[in-house]
Amino acid sequence: MKSIDCIICPKSCRIQVRGSLRPGKKPEVSGQECSKGKKYAISEICDPRRIFTSTVAVRNGEIKLVPVRTSKPIRKAEWKSGRDIIRGLNIAAPIGFGKVLIKDFTEKGIKLIAAREVKAF
């Protein structure tokens, strides 16, 4: 049995997962208050992921940094490579809200997007 503390919402349900997680098998999941919890608990064991957020340097902008996020959670172990990718970046303003800054971030299909609008200076 594995015990997982859910991070989807502040309730932080403690979820128990019993049985095999191999494809085709149905593990027994208990303790969650919603279906998102069940999905999270299984993914946390098989393929743990987190939304990655940081900031990227802006040139010619009214502010110096634009906050960024990934469109989907990235592999938990890949936060360092995510950080290394954005470290060298320098994006010219204007930057629209939700603009895709990198199309395939740590893996194909996961975008890095601007979480704030930055007007040109």
Partner 1 sequence: MEKRSNNSNYDIAIIGAGPAGLAAAVGAHEAGAGSILIIDREKYPGGILQQCIHPGFGLIRFKEELTGPEYAHAYIEMAKKKNIDLLLDTFVYSISEDKNILISNASDGLKNIEAGAVVMAMGCREGTRGSIFIPGFRPAGIFTAGTAQRLINIDGLMVGKKIVILGSGDIGLIMARRCTIEDAKVEAVVEKMPYPGGLNKNIVQCIDDFNIPLLLSHTVTFIDGKERIRGVEIAGVGSNGEILDSKRKYIECDTLLLSIGLIPENELSRGAGIPLDPITGGPYIDNMMHTEKQGFFAGGNVVQVYDLVDYVSEDSYTAGFNAGLYIQDKLDMKGDKIIIESGRYIRSIAPGILRIGGQTPAKDQKPVLSIRVEKPLMDSIRLSLSSGNNIIANMRRPYAVPSEMIRLDLSKYTAKLAGKKKIRIDIEEIH
**CB closer to partner 1 out of 69 and 111:** 69
C-alpha 3/C-alpha 111 separation (Å) is 31
Binding region for partner 1 (CB under 8 A) out of 22-30, 67-75, 88-96, 102-110 = 67-75
Q: Is 89 in the site for partner 1 (CB under 8 A)?
A: no
Does position 74 bind partner 1 by CB under 8 A? no
For residue 51, state whether it binds partner 1 (rule: CB under 8 A): yes
**Contact pick of 16, 39, 55, 81 for partner 1 (by CB under 8 A):** 55
Q: Mark 94-112 as b/e (b = at least 16 C-beta within 10 Å).
A: ebeeebebbeebbeeebbb
In terms of CB distance, is 18 or 83 closer to partner 1?
Answer: 83
* Comparison of 11 and 22: residue with beta carbon closer to partner 1: 11
Query: Reduced to 3 states, what is the DSSP secondary structure of residue 85?
Result: helix
CA neighbours closer than 13 Å in the CB half-sphere of residue 29: 24
Judge contact between 114 and 98, C-beta under 8 A: yes
Positions touching partner 1 (CB under 8 A) are: 5-12, 50-51, 53-55, 57, 63-65, 67-69, 76, 79, 83, 97, 115-117
